[in-house]
Structure 1
Amino acid sequence: MIAFHYPPMRGSSGIQRTLTFSQHLPQHGWQPLLLSAQPRAYANSGADQLAEIPAGMVVRRAFALDTSRHLALGGRYPLLLALPDRWVTWLLGAVPAGLGLVRRHRPALIWSTYPIATAHLIGLALHRLTGLPWVADLRDPMTDHDYPAHPLTRRVYRWIERQTIARCSVAVCTTPGAIQTYRARFPDIPAERYALIENGYDEANFAQAGDAAPAGRTGAAANAADYADTSAAPAPTPPPAPLTLVHSGVIYPSERDPRPLFAALAELQRAGHISPQRLRVVLRATGHDDYLRPLLREYGIEQMVSLAPHIAYRAALGEMLGAGGLLVLQAANCNHQIPAKLYEYFRAGRPILALTDAAGDTAAALRKAGIDTVAQLDSREDIMHQLLRFLTLAEAGQAPLASAAAVAASSRAARSAQLGELLDRVALRAQAAGRALPRAGSKEGAP
C-alpha cells in the first residue's frame, strides 16, 4: 500500500481512508505492507494516531522532502523541483524501498492512493519493474480543464492520469461522478476497469470520541448496534442557544469559497434575523486562516464566526457529536467529488447544512440519506433562505438527519470488505494469467 497520507501526518481526511483499510483488510485475508514517507515531509505531524497503526504491520517510511520547506531559497523554488508535486523526492526513496518490500515479502499486488500524484508515479514504477498487478485508488479525478492551475503541472498530471488508467488493473473512485468523468475522458478503457469504493467513517473512532463530546450532547452518538436496525433514524434533539454550526476541515478558497456564506450571514445579521446570541459558526482547521480572517472583518461577522485551530482527530469527532449543526462547503467545480467528512457527519447524527451545487454528487448523497437542508454555495440569496430554514428546524429539533440505513452503509468496515473483495478478484485474474506472486504467509498459489 503506497500512501503519503498516514500517521504521524495530521490534518487530512485522506489519512483515515488508508489507516482504516490497513486496520480492516486482515479480516478479509489481506495483510498490508505500508510504504509511506518519512515524517519530515509532513508540514503537520503528531503522535495522536500512531497507536492506531496495527501492531506488527510492516511500515516502511522512505526518504522524502517537501520542496517548499526543504529545497526553497528565500521561499522560492524552481517548478521542476515540484513536478508533479512538492513531494516528488519521495519517488527517489520509495521505489528502491518498494522493491525491497517486494523481494522480502512477495506481495500479490500493489495499491497506491491519491491525492499526492507522486504516489501513483511510485505505483506505476513498481508495477513496471515487478509485473505485479496494480490497483490505483484515484478517489477523485486528478485533472480538470483548469486544474492544476499551472499548465505544465496540469500536463504532467494528465500524463500520470493516462498512464495510471491505461496500466492499472482497476482504478478505484469514491463517487459515481468521478467514474463517469473517467469513462468520458478515456472511452477506449473498458467499464470493468473502474470500481466504486466511497469514503466513510470508522466506528471505533466514534466510540472513543463520544467521551470528548460536551456534556449533555452525546445522545446523538449511537453505538454501531444502534445502526444495525435500519428501520429508524436517530431522533433529532434541539440544541441549546446559541446554536453552534461547525465546519471541520480545510476551506479551499476556490473549491469551498465561503464568501457567499459570509455575505449571507452579514445580511441576515443586519436585518436582525441572526446574531451571535442565536448562531455561532466555528471553522475548525481551515488551513487558510490568513485568507479568511480579513474576510470576517470585511463582512463584520467576526463576533459570529470564529477560526479554530487543528485538534486531534478524535477530539474533532467529539466536536461533531456535540455540535448543534454541521456545515458542508462544496463548489460546483467539485460536482464529482464528495468531502470525506460528509460520511463522518452522517455518523455524528447532527443536522447538516450543505452549501453545494444541487446537481453534484454531494447533494445526491445528502438526498439519498434523507437530508434536504441544501443551498447553492455561490448564491447569497439561497444561503440566506436555507440558513433561516435550517436554524428554525434545528432549534425545534426537527431538522432531518441521515437515515440509519445511510449511516450503516457508510462505515469503513463495509468499505474495507468491498476493497477485500476487489483485491481478491484482481489477484485471481493475475494468477490465472500467470503474473502474480503469492501473498506473504499464504499457501503457494492461493488468492
Structure 2
Amino acid sequence: MRYAAALCRHTAPTSCEREYFVTRRILLVTHHFPPSTVAASFRPLRLAKYLPELGYKVWVVSATRGSYPRGRTDSKLTNEIPTSAHVTRIPNLNPLLWYERRASARKASAEASATAARRRHSEHGEESRGSLAALRMTMAELAKFPDIDAPWAAASLVPALYLVLRNRIDVIYSSAPPFGAHLLGLALKKITGRPWIAHYGNPWTANPSISWNRAVFRRGCESLDRAIVRRADAVLVLDEILADCIRDLGRSERVYVHPNGFDPAHFSPTDMPSGKFTTTYAGSLYNMHDPSVIYDALSLIERDDPAARADMRVVFAGPPQDDPLRAGAPRDIEFPGPLGHAELARQLNDSHLLLEFLTASAGQKFTVPCKLYEYMAARRPILAVTPEGPLSDEVRRLDLGKVASCDDPAAVARAMMEFYSAYKAGRLRAPNNAGIDGYSAPNQAREFARVVEEVCSGQSREPVGVCGRSQ
C-alpha cells in the first residue's frame, strides 16, 4: 500500500480545490464526540471542523454526555464544534452497562488476590462459587456484546435514518471504536444504499485487548466484523498493521491508510521555556503503558547525577488519583490528574521533552499512539520508549527525538540526560520536519474528501494515505 504526500502547510482551499470537491452532504456516525475527550472523539471533530471549508454540509449522530466515562469529558471542548455542524445526540441506554463497569473495576483487585480466592473456594465450596463466577462472567460479556455501546447504535437507527432521508445525505461515515458506530453504519447502508465509509481506529476481533470467554460471543463479533469490512464502500485505517487486519477479514480493495492527526488551532508553539527541565507524559497508564521503566530510569539519574535530577521536573498528566500504576513513582513526579484539552496543550507547550512509552514485547503488533501527533503539533522533542515498530519508525522518520528500548532503564536514563545536557547548553531544538504538517487536520480533510469523491463517483485508484511518504 502506498502513502500519498500531503506535506503542504494549512492554507484556505484554492478555487481549483473548491471546483474539485463537489458539495456533499455527509453524516458522521460516532459514539464519541465533544465533550468526550477520548482519542476517538477528535477524528470526527476534525472532519466536522474542516470539511465545510471544502463545501461539505455536515450532520453528526453521537451520544449524550452521560454516556461517556467519568473524568473523560471537557465541556470547553464543545466550543470546537462548528455552528454549521448539525449534531443529534442519543443516550446510551444499555441496562447492563453498570454491571460491566463494576466488573471491570473489580478486575485488577480480583487478579491480585487470585491465590487467596482459590483457597476460599476450596474451603467454602468451590463448585457453588465457580457457578456464581461463571454467571457473573456471562453477564459481563452479555453487557458488552457485540459492543458495550451497541444499544446506543440501536437507539440511534431511526433518528439517523430520518437525517439521511430528510437531508438527502450523500455519504455516511462511521468511526470506531466503539464499534456500535460501524453497526449503525452497516444498518444505514443496508436500508438506504448510500455510500458508506468505515474508519477503524483499532482492530475489533483481532484486538488482543478484547477477549471473549464464551465462543458464541466471539463468533458473533467475528461475523459482524466481516460484514462491516465487506459491505463498506471504503475502509479507512490508521496504519499498515490495521490494513493487514482488514485484509485478513477478506477486504483488499479501497482500504485507505488515514492516520491520526492534530488540529493546528489547538497549539501555539513557542520558544523553549526557561526554568527546570520539564518532561511531560500525557495519557492513561495501563498494561501497554507501564511507567516502571521510567521510574527506574529516574532512579538511575538520581544515583549517578543528583544535581541534574534535582533540576528535572516530571509531569504525568492524565492518571487519576487511584491509578494503581502510580505505585512506585518517585515522590517528586507530579500527577495533576486528567486535564482539559486546552490545559493539556498548555502543559505540552510549557515542557522541554515529551514522553511516550509502550511496554510491549517485540512480537506484539501495535499502532502509533494518537498522542504522538499532538506531541508533533506542540513542536517539542519526543522520547519514545518502545520496542522497534511503527512508533519508533515514525519518530526516526520525522526526526522527532530519540528512541530507547522499553526494557532498558539505563538507555532511557542516558537519553533523558542527553536531552537535559542539550537544554543546559542551549542546544535543545524543536522538531521542524516538513512532514509534520501533513498530519494537520486541514490537510487530512482534503485527502478524506478525495476518498469521498472516489467512493461517490465509483472511481478507483491505488489506496492512499492522508499523509506521510511515498512508498
TM-score range with shorter-chain normalisation? 0.7 to 0.9
Match of 2:278 among 244, 250, 263: 244
Residue 283, structure 1, aligned to residue 316, structure 2: yes
Secondary structure of the equivalent of 2:334? strand
Match of 1:175 in 2: 239
Match of 2:257 in 1: 196
Q: How far 1:51 moved relative to its partner? A: 2.0
Per the alignment, do residues 416 and 73 of structure 1 end up closer, same or farther by CA in structure 2, a change over 3 Å counting?
Answer: closer
Cα separation, 2, equivalents of 1:424 and 1:58: 22
Match of 1:403 among 403, 421, 432: 432
Q: How far 1:308 moved relative to its partner? A: 1.5
Cα separation, 1, equivalents of 2:311 and 2:414: 16
Cα separation, 1, equivalents of 2:337 and 2:358: 21
Q: Over residues 160-213 of structure 1, what are the superposed CA-to-partner deviations in whole Å (9 max), with x where a residue is unaligned? A: 322221111111011233223433x24x432x321011211112222xxx4xxx
Match of 2:62 in 1: 36
Match of 1:258 among 276, 291, 306: 291
1:67 touches 1:86 (CA, 8 Å); kept in 2?
Answer: no
Per the alignment, do residues 106 and 93 of structure 1 end up closer, same or farther by CA in structure 2, a change over 3 Å counting?
Answer: same
Residue 350, structure 1, aligned to residue 391, structure 2: no
1:40 touches 1:65 (CA, 8 Å); kept in 2?
Answer: no
Match of 2:44 in 1: 18
Q: How far 1:145 moved relative to its partner? A: 6.6
Secondary structure of the equivalent of 1:413? helix
Matched letter for residue 119 of structure 1: A
Per the alignment, do residues 97 and 397 of structure 1 end up closer, same or farther by CA in structure 2, a change over 3 Å counting?
Answer: farther
Residue 3, structure 1, aligned to residue 3, structure 2: no
Gaps of 5+ in 1: 211-217, 221-236, 431-447
Q: How far 1:413 moved relative to its partner? A: 0.6
1:140 touches 1:336 (CA, 8 Å); kept in 2?
Answer: no
Greater mean deviation of Cα atoms: 388-397 or 159-168? 388-397
Matched letter for residue 386 of structure 1: A
Match of 2:153 in 1: 91
1:38 touches 1:64 (CA, 8 Å); kept in 2?
Answer: yes
Cα separation, 1, equivalents of 2:231 and 2:407: 39
Secondary structure of the equivalent of 1:281? strand
Gaps of 5+ in 2: 1-27, 104-135, 460-471
Matched letter for residue 277 of structure 1: A
Q: Over residues 278-335 of structure 1, what are the superposed CA-to-partner deviations in whole Å (9 max), with x where a residue is unaligned? A: 2221111135852123232xxxx122x1212222212211111111211112244664
Per the alignment, do residues 374 and 66 of structure 1 end up closer, same or farther by CA in structure 2, a change over 3 Å counting?
Answer: farther
Match of 2:303 in 1: 270
Match of 1:159 in 2: 223
2:301 touches 2:309 (CA, 8 Å); kept in 1?
Answer: no
Q: Percent identity?
A: 25
Secondary structure of the equivalent of 2:400? coil
Greater mean deviation of Cα atoms: 122-131 or 173-182? 173-182
TM-score (structure 2 length as normaliser): 0.76
Greater mean deviation of Cα atoms: 370-379 or 1-10? 370-379
Residue 328, structure 1, aligned to residue 356, structure 2: yes
Per the alignment, do residues 250 and 321 of structure 1 end up closer, same or farther by CA in structure 2, a change over 3 Å counting?
Answer: same
Per the alignment, do residues 405 and 282 of structure 1 end up closer, same or farther by CA in structure 2, a change over 3 Å counting?
Answer: same
Per the alignment, do residues 372 and 246 of structure 1 end up closer, same or farther by CA in structure 2, a change over 3 Å counting?
Answer: closer
Per the alignment, do residues 37 and 145 of structure 1 end up closer, same or farther by CA in structure 2, a change over 3 Å counting?
Answer: closer
Match of 1:58 in 2: 86
Match of 1:439 in 2: none
Residue 308, structure 1, aligned to residue 321, structure 2: no
Cα separation, 2, equivalents of 1:73 and 1:51: 29
| Length, aligned pairs only | 393
Secondary structure of the equivalent of 1:344? helix
1:268 touches 1:274 (CA, 8 Å); kept in 2?
Answer: no
TM-score (structure 1 length as normaliser): 0.80
Per the alignment, do residues 4 and 175 of structure 1 end up closer, same or farther by CA in structure 2, a change over 3 Å counting?
Answer: same
Match of 1:45 among 73, 79, 95: 73
Q: How far 1:400 moved relative to its partner? A: 5.3
Cα separation, 1, equivalents of 2:430 and 2:263: 19
Per the alignment, do residues 89 and 288 of structure 1 end up closer, same or farther by CA in structure 2, a change over 3 Å counting?
Answer: farther
Greater mean deviation of Cα atoms: 329-338 or 367-376? 329-338
Higher relative contact order (CA 8 A, sep 6+): 2
Match of 2:143 in 1: 81
